[in-house]
Amino acid sequence: MVEKEFIIENEAGLHARPAAMLIKEASRFQSDILVIRGNKTGNAKSLLSILALGVFKGTRVTVRIDGSDEIAAMYKISKLIESNFSEES
Amino acid sequence: MSSISIEDMLKVLDMEVLYEGKSLSFEIETSDINRPGLQFAGFFDYFAVERVQVIGKVEMTYLDSMHPAVRKERLDQFFSSGIPCVVISRNMEVPQYLIDSARKYGCPVIRSKKATTSVIHRMINYLDSALAPRITRHGVLVDVYGEGVLLMGESGIGKSETALELIKRGHRLVADDAVEIKKVAENRLIGDSPELIRHYMEIRGIGIIDIKAMYGVGAVINNKAIDMVVYLEFWDNNKEYDRLGLTEEYMEILGVKLPKVILPVRPGRNLAIIVEVAVRNWRLKHMGYNAAKELDERLNSMIRQHNSGDLQDS
């Protein structure tokens, strides 16, 4: 299991489009990928559960990945979040 | 220990705030209530300081009858003990000395119009619910024939599609994707949807849909007790699936054991109908009729008859 903390920096937070990008990326991996905000947990492969977290700019979230391809998944997801969800993937 | 927001409590319980305390919220860990009559009389042994303190007519009248100096001393001791909040019932006029003492120690004072016993009941109910253990699970919660069915399984297995078919067949959606589960009693779990995504669903290839707008108000329900879990998984040829239905499987959520049915998914299997059947079957079992057992017994009695017939023949 790997875990990493991020602060969401893009202007609108995790609204529909960035969330969809995160889900797209997460769905490529076998591992279970969770996004944790405070006492709420969202499944990174499910759009609604990520939207339900209500992540704004400046929100601190933890990404927890558990599974066979966790390292690769964390690498890709870190890149996505740190690039503020720019279109490149 | 949980933090209770006074604002939220006022909304639910229809109360008004007389003094908001230090931070508009208070910390509490028990739903028990104390009526501080004995404490006002000067007996502070075993004083339940961790509880909400409810002041009714008796306590208020007693306070009024006390000598001001003694009263001030008792109230000081009362409020300085670290009580979470004070609730006044019956919409009683609250004397300034009470507010002053509360303010000195930053203890919120709240007033209700209801009679004392009713305030206590409602307060306990509210705190039980607010302090209940919670967990968020990935899945879809649907009300099928009045039973709360939690559909679980891997991402992309078809939980939402199954739920959609169930809704089309007249059942009701509680929550899609993220189900917030609350343990409200020893063996009772209530599931609901995060406010933000209530009654929305995600269907791959279409996107996000609003079930309430699409199927009407009869197709949704805000929360529901969870009665069983239906676990969808990809058909595994090497795995033995339950053929008889004589054994029962369970899944534990927040320490509550829920009956669990594992349904293997294969193209062409109409899962919604199978979920309906699973619920009907569970209800039958619950009412004391077990089809597998009945069949087994019928078979056994036939075998017995046959065997005794054999004996007569010989």
Beta strands in B108-197 (DSSP E): 109-112, 134-138, 140-144, 147-153, 172-175, 178-185, 188-192
Q: What percent of chain A has pLDDT over 70?
A: 97
Q: pLDDT tier at A88 (50, 70, 90 boundaries)?
A: very low
Query: Considering only CB atoms, which chain A residues are within 8 Å of B201?
Result: 48
A34 inside domain? yes
User: How large is the ipTM?
Assistant: 0.75
Partner-chain contact A41 B136, CB within 8 Å: yes
Q: pLDDT tier at B155 (50, 70, 90 boundaries)?
A: confident
Q: CB–CB of B90/B68 below 8 Å?
A: no
Q: Could you tell me the two tokens for B66?
A: 């006390």
pLDDT in the model for residue B209: 93
Q: CB–CB of B200/B210 below 8 Å?
A: yes
- Out of A16, A43, A52, the one facing B194 most closely (by C-beta) is A52
Q: B125: part of which helix (H) or strand (E)?
A: helix B116-131
For residue B106, is it left (φ>0), alpha (ψ between -120 and 50) or beta? Answer: left
**CATH hierarchy code of domain B4-130:** 3.40.1390.20
Average pLDDT, chain B: 90
Cα A65 from Cα A34, distance rounded (Å): 6
A20 touches B: beta carbon within 8 Å: no
Structural domains of chain A, count: 1
Angle between helix axes A70-82 and A16-27 (nearest 10 degrees) is: 160
A54 touches B: beta carbon within 8 Å: yes
- Out of A16, A43, A54, the one facing B138 most closely (by C-beta) is A43
Range of the domain at A41: 2-82
Query: Considering only CB atoms, which chain B residues are within 8 Å of A46?
Result: 138, 155, 177-178, 202
Place of tokens 């499910």: A46
Cα B44 from Cα B66, distance rounded (Å): 17
A57 inside domain? yes
pLDDT in the model for residue B52: 93
Q: pLDDT tier at B313 (50, 70, 90 boundaries)?
A: low
Q: What is the CATH number of the domain that holds A55?
A: 3.30.1340.10
Residues 6 or more apart whose Cβ sits within 8 Å of residue B79: B101, B102, B104, B105, B107
The CATH classification of domain B134-279, taken from the options 3.40.50.300, 3.40.50.970, 2.40.10.10, 3.30.460.80: 3.40.50.300
Q: Is A21 exposed, middle or buried (0-12, 13-18, 19+ CB in 10 A)?
A: middle
Question: Which of A19-33, A58-72, A75-89, B270-284 has the lowest average pLDDT?
Answer: A75-89
| B4-130 shares its CATH topology with B134-279 | no
Kindly report the nearest CA distance between residue A41 and chain B, in angstroms: 6
Between strands B188-192 and B223-225, the pairing is: antiparallel
Nearest-5° Cα angle at B149, B200 to B12: 65
Q: What percent of chain A has pLDDT over 90?
A: 39
Residues 6 or more apart whose Cβ sits within 8 Å of residue B271: B158, B161, B162, B165, B232, B263, B265
- Out of A41, A43, A54, the one facing B155 most closely (by C-beta) is A43
Dihedral pair phi/psi, residue A12, rounded to 5°: -95, 5
Query: What ranges do the domains of chain B cover?
Result: 4-130, 134-279
Cα B6 from Cα B123, distance rounded (Å): 12
pLDDT digits (tens, 9 = 90+) for B9-24: 888 888 999 998 887 8
pLDDT in the model for residue A89: 40
Nearest to B236 by CA among B256, B271, B264: B264
Q: What percent of chain B has pLDDT over 70?
A: 98
Q: CB–CB of B31/B11 below 8 Å?
A: no
A63 inside domain? yes
Question: Which of A11-15, B53-57, B82-86, B252-256 has the lowest average pLDDT?
Answer: A11-15
A30 touches B: beta carbon within 8 Å: no
Cα B115 from Cα B132, distance rounded (Å): 26
Cα B46 from Cα B81, distance rounded (Å): 12
Nearest to B42 by CA among B13, B72, B14: B72
Q: pLDDT tier at B219 (50, 70, 90 boundaries)?
A: very high
A88 inside domain? no
